[in-house]
Structure 1
Amino acid sequence: MTPPSRSPRRASIKIGLLVYPGCMPAGLFAASDLFRAINRRMGKPVFDPVWIGAESGRVELVDGPVLHLDHALREPCDAYLLPGFWAESAADLDRMLDRQARLLAWLRQLPKQTALWTYCMGVALVAAAGRIDRCEATATWWLERPLRERFAAIRWDFRQAVVEDRSIVTAAGANGYWALLNWLLMRRIPAEVLRDVERAMLVPRSDTGHPAFRPVELMVQADPQLQRLVAHVRNVPAAGLNLGIAADYLAVSARTLSRRIERHAQVSAGKWLRLVKLAQVADALVASTASMKTICGEAGFADEASLMRTFKRVTGMTTSQYRQQYGRPLEHAGTGER
């Protein structure tokens, strides 16, 4: 089995959509549709997706569907998109890796500069092939422990939704393909083209916000009362927010609430409350082109300059930099950055 030779330079990027037994192919179909829409909007072939089977001809997917593919692994491409598979335990992970000997052998022989894009448990396949040793990577968080144990040479960062290191991009989550595609396309396609394609296709915006705000994301609040509190705090002006007000809302003592937050979020209660309000600012930066003066007022901060200093201290980024990296507005008018 020989690795593909490098493709001659073309105007379009040839992307291999890799299908293997037991994979979850939703991301491949989504990517194929998205590439087609971008080509149509651009009026020229920017992406050339090719369906490639890890087995010759016929590939059985998860839960029974079968795809018949014309292209095999030897098909040369500029980049390859590798989907994930369903795994709920370390045993599931081992069983799938044992089934993919042919695919793993092919991945090992690829030239080092080959672009590999993968998400969810597809990252485990790339890891098993040794493609991301000594690289940074992310993957689905619920198998963090077995992944760390099996692939200790990888610099794992499970806080990140997407990680790019050299020619390999990894993303977390079973639907991580949206974050992955978002990440890749933002660096290759004009913003106005992506805007039009998103609107036409109702493409979801991937949640790739700054990891500093992870402790206050609704989805990670195991305590239902803290979920309620996040929603409530967003409606309380920042200038009038304190632990006592938050505790009164939940009808508990300030000491009890402080202990609860520290136990579940691993940060102090005061920091957690500030992060809720700063996350509200971050969401506004991503979702609108409103000025910082407007955002500051809507979140209830008394001092715009102080807010911007705090935001930079927490995220390491100015508000303009955050908006540029995580949002996709066409104009950044009136950001109020100094």
Structure 2
Amino acid sequence: MLSKVAAVLCDNVAMFEFGVLCEVFGLDRRDDGLPGFDFRVCGTEPGVPLRCSSPGITVTPEYGLDELADADLVTVPAYPVAEDYEFDPRVLRAVRDAVDAGATVLTVCSGAFLAGAAGLLDGRKCTTHWRHVGKLAERYPSATVDPDVLFVDEGNLITSAGTAAGIDACLHLVRRELGSAVANKIARRMVVPPQRDGGQRQFIERPVPECTSDGLRDTLLWMDRHLELPHTVEDLAARSAMSTRTFARRFAAETGTTPVKWLTNQRVLLAKQLLEDTTLDLETIAGRSGFGSAALLRHHFQRLVGIAPTEYRRRFGS
């Protein structure tokens, strides 16, 4: 059942993510034959304006935290992830109590950090914006943070990636609780795709390799700058002045994955960049990114990104 929906507001709330929640759950669409939600915007002090992440804008919660007590769904927009940003303990307690009373919690983007501060991520799978996944995993080590997906459904906890992925998570929950017909009608009113599977990958930029080990930093940078070349673990270990076994162990400790998987991921990221910024054909892109053939590029690209290279270029090519 999905009847009463509470949105929790704290200081420095992000307006777009809050707007997503208002758009899906706050609009009255009963004239279109859709069910209405009892949507409550809640804060620690009803009637007191709160700052937003956008300068010059404030938002005023109409209701207090007591409205969370009987909510079916507690929604959490995005908030700052800085170390010195602290959530009000009253908010965290109200969210925990709502979950204990049977509510589902849905977070958008960095709203996952509020769920973490409330202890809701312990032992659970979750996600957030790709720029913040490392910080979320570091801050809440008992959580399993998936850096790639659009959203994660853990039953009474749904976490989503950045910005528009929050729309996907909201529509997914509506579909789960009220059926596809309701979700599709809401999506049509919002002029958005009715369904993007949560397992679809986030579209992330190609990052600079991070490494704290002096013995591996130069090797990682060299690998990243020569992705078109064939690489073996033996050659990379020799470049790092390590035995093969030591190199593999140190590499996994630094990157969380194997050299082969790391190379494949970096090559896919390079291929994405070339698809966005050039008109090169797939065979040329495959050669420059180290896959050797368009067929191999398509295979790994589809597996890691979730869509074919040609579709990716259609969406993001300049």
Quickly name the TM-score band, shorter chain normalised.
0.5 to 0.7
* AA matched with 2:183: L
Equivalent residue runs for 1:188-199 within 5 Å: 188-199=177-188
1:52 — aligned with what? Answer: 42
Counterpart secondary structure, 2:132: helix
How many angstroms does 1:281 deviate by?
11
C-alpha displacement of 1:157: 1.4
Q: Deviations over 1:86-105 (max 9, x none)?
A: 44xxxx2x222x25333223
Indicate whether 1:70 and 2:119 are aligned. Answer: no
**Which position in structure 2 is the counterpart of 1:7?**
none
TM-score by length of 1: 0.60
Q: In structure 2, what is the equivalent of residue 203 of structure 1?
A: 192
Q: Does residue 112 of structure 2 align to residue 123 of structure 1?
A: yes
Cα distance, 1:30 vs structure 2: 3.1
1:238 corresponds to which residue? none
CA contact (8 A) 1:22 1:61 kept: yes
Q: How far 1:272 sits from its partner (Å)?
A: 2.3
The offset of 1:195, in angstroms, is 3.2
The yes-or-no answer on 1:139 pairing with 2:128 is yes
| 2-structure distance, mates of 1:148, 1:230 | 37
Question: Could you tell me which residue of structure 1 aligns to residue 245 of structure 2?
Answer: none
Report the 3-state secondary structure (helix = DSSP H, G, I; strand = E; otherwise coil) of the residue aligned with 2:107.
strand
Q: 1:70 to 1:101 in 2, by over 3 A?
A: same
Kept in 2, the 8 Å contact 1:120–1:172? The answer is yes
Measured against aligned partners, the alpha-carbon deviations of 1:49-89 in whole angstroms (never above 9, x if no partner) come to 111113342122222322233311111311110001244xx
Is the CA contact 1:37–1:197 (under 8 Å) kept in the aligned structure 2?
Answer: no
- 3-state SS, counterpart of residue 158 of structure 1: coil
Aligned-partner Cα distance in 1 for 2:58–2:201: 42
Structure 1 gap ranges (5+): 1-10, 234-245, 263-267, 284-338
Which range moves more in the overlay, 124-133 or 100-109? 100-109
Letter aligned with residue 17 of structure 1: A
**Quick one: which amino acid aligns to residue 107 of structure 1?**
V
Question: Does the Cα contact within 8 Å between 2:159 and 2:169 map onto a contact in 1?
Answer: yes
Matched, 1:80 2:74: yes
> Helix, strand or coil for the counterpart of 1:159?
coil
Cα distance, 1:120 vs structure 2? 1.0
Secondary structure of the structure 1 residue equivalent to 2:288: helix
Q: How does 1:189-338 map to 2 (within 5 A)?
A: 189-204=178-193, 207-208=196-197, 210-211=199-200, 221=270, 224-227=273-276, 232-233=281-282, 246-247=283-284, 257-259=288-290, 270-275=295-300, 279-280=307-308
1:106 to 2:94 alignment: yes
Partner in structure 2 of residue 170 of structure 1: 159
Shift of 1:199: 2.9
CA distance in 2, matches of 1:231, 1:195: 37
Separation in 2, partners of 1:200, 1:55: 33
Kept in 2, the 8 Å contact 1:41–1:193? The answer is no
For the pair 1:184 / 2:215, whether they are aligned, the reply is no
Give me the whole-angstrom Cα distance separating, in 2, the residues matched to 1:185 and 1:230: 40
Secondary structure in structure 2 of the residue aligned to 1:16:
strand
Which residue pairs with 1:33 in the alignment? 23
Alpha-carbon contact 1:13-1:78 (below 8 Å) kept: yes
Structure 2 vs 1, CA of residues 221 and 230 (structure 1 numbering), >3 Å: closer, same or farther? farther
Number of paired residues? 241
Distance 1:103 1:225, change over 3 A: same
Contact 2:152 2:158 in 1 (8 A): yes
TM-score with structure 2 setting the length: 0.63
The two structures, once aligned, show a CA RMSD in angstroms of 3.6
Identity of aligned residues (%): 20
Distance 1:115 1:29 in 2: 19
Q: Which consecutive unaligned segments of at least 5 residues does structure 2 have?
A: 204-263, 312-318
In structure 2, the CA distance between the partners of 1:231 and 1:163, relative to structure 1 (3 Å rule), is farther
